[in-house]
Structure 1
C-alpha cells in the first residue's frame, strides 16, 4: 500500500503569533495572495517558523477564504480566531503594519488552521 503525505509549506511567523498557534488558540492565519500562496489548498501542512530560529509548529489547512479587505476578513472570521488576546482595532492596526495597502490589494486570505500535535 502506498501512502500520500500532504505537501508542507514553510512560512515565517512572528513570535507573538507563533505562541498562539502552538497553544492551539489561533485558528485563522492572515496572509495575502502572494503568488506562492495562490494555490494553497485544504489538507496542506504549513510549517510555521520563527525567522532566525529552529522553532517550528505544524498546522493543517482546513480552509482558505479570500476577502476584499482586512476589515471584511476580521468581520467574517471573527477577530478572536485571528488573535484572541487583542481587540479587533489592535489587530487591524497590526495587520496593516505588516501588510501595507499595496499588499492588501493582492487579496487578504484567511487560512483556517488546525494544530498538528506531535
Structure 2
C-alpha cells in the first residue's frame, strides 16, 4: 500500500504516552477516530501543546503544506460559515493570498 503521508494517530499517541500522559483523556476521543481529518490534527495539536510563542508560530507556518482535501475543507468551512478571506486566514493562521489563490484554483470543484 502506498504511503499517503504521516501517520498522525501514531505520532500523537506516542507523544502523549511519552511526554504528556496527563493529557491522554482530553485527546482520546479524537485519537479513537478511524482516520484523523485536517481539523482533528489542528485540534489535537492545540490540546497537547497549547499556544506557542509568536516566533515559533511564524516558523511553523512557513513550513506547512496542505493537501487538496485540506484546502477543500478550508474553503467549505469558509462557505458554510459565510466568512471572508481575511476571517478564514485569521482562523487558520494563513495568508489571505493563499485563500484567494486556492479559491481561484478550486473554483470548479463543487463544495
**TM superposition score category, shorter chain reference:** under 0.3
Compare CA radii of gyration and give the structure with the larger one: 2
Structure with more helix by fraction: 2
Q: Greater relative contact order (Cα 8 A, min sep 6): structure 1 or 2? A: 1
